[in-house]
Structure 1
């Protein structure tokens, strides 16, 4: 089934002023389908910190059902290591889409914006990790050119069962 695009989706780098909205989006989309950490509980940790800086995130804004422009999703894009020999790689370390915006192309738009941003930073390769049972995310990543490059079987124990950690990657060459 084709996705219904959100009209219009605005993609931009995150700003410090997005912290509250990003924290709320992160908490509202928490699920063992993608999260290996416990469900966040009050008092909530700040969304941004020394390792999660606003400049590491791309955000999507769109009109919700009430016609209000608000945060529809985000992705975090960072070098996987601080090593110079790994500087040509960027890694997606988080992608979330608000429930009201799902199935409307927001995640795909964020991925494509991440590819463009990574190329602009000189990267020629992108990687990510996804839980083996997260079929919707894996299908999206595969449709955008990612392939499975490794699997850590039973790496996480979630909801009473062992779940694989799947490593995926793709070239950013045109």
Structure 2
């Protein structure tokens, strides 16, 4: 295992991040329809400036999308993790933990009061990871989605800083 480092994304990361996006999700962890609609531009919806990337020995292996949760001033101070993915071959090497730690550090730097995220109820691995990083369940929306024919819970987790 190599050393995990985290930095902000740059435009040149688009191709490798797109590959990670296209290979990291399945019906138990994400929305297949969203990956299909993504096209060939990883940064089409949100630019490099909201993406932290993890590298192992200089190779990009994952990302975390960190954005303001609300577009109005009353919601200032709440940031959302709107995506976290690690390439299948790089899992178990600490990249996701490094990304979550970096997101917490950045949230504190911005003087945010809370980090929030959503995860499928079926994604036990991700839920354990988030809980190890201090996230707690705030709400569960049973059968919120139907993914590949299966009702899927939406679980909201948050970390108060």
Verify same fold: TM over 0.5. Answer: yes
CA contact (8 A) 1:75 1:94 kept: yes
Aligned residue in 2 for 1:132: 121
The answer on 1:146 being equivalent to 2:140 is no
> Where does structure 1 lack aligned partners over 5 or more consecutive residues?
1-5, 64-68
1:42 shift after superposition: 9.0
Aligned match of 1:94 in 59, 80, 83?
83
1:7 shift after superposition: 2.3
- Greater Cα shift, 29-38 or 88-97: 29-38
1:159 shift after superposition: 2.1
Q: Secondary structure at the match of 2:65?
A: strand
1:30-59: per-residue Cα shift (whole Å, max 9, x none)?
21122124274599241112x411000000
TM-score, with structure 1 as normaliser: 0.87
> Where does structure 2 lack aligned partners over 5 or more consecutive residues?
none
CA contact (8 A) 1:30 1:39 kept: no
The number of equivalent residue pairs is: 161
Q: Secondary structure at the match of 1:38?
A: helix
Between the aligned partners of 1:9 and 1:90, the Cα distance in structure 2 is 23
Residues 43 and 117 of structure 1, relative CA distance in 2, 3 Å threshold: closer
1:117 shift after superposition: 0.8
Aligned residue in 1 for 2:103: 114
Which structure: greater helix fraction?
2
1:124 shift after superposition: 1.5
1:61-113: per-residue Cα shift (whole Å, max 9, x none)?
113xxxxx311111000011111111111110000011121111110110000
Larger Rg: 1
CA contact (8 A) 2:15 2:42 kept: yes
Q: Secondary structure at the match of 2:154?
A: strand
Runs of 4+ with deviation above 2 angstroms: 39-45
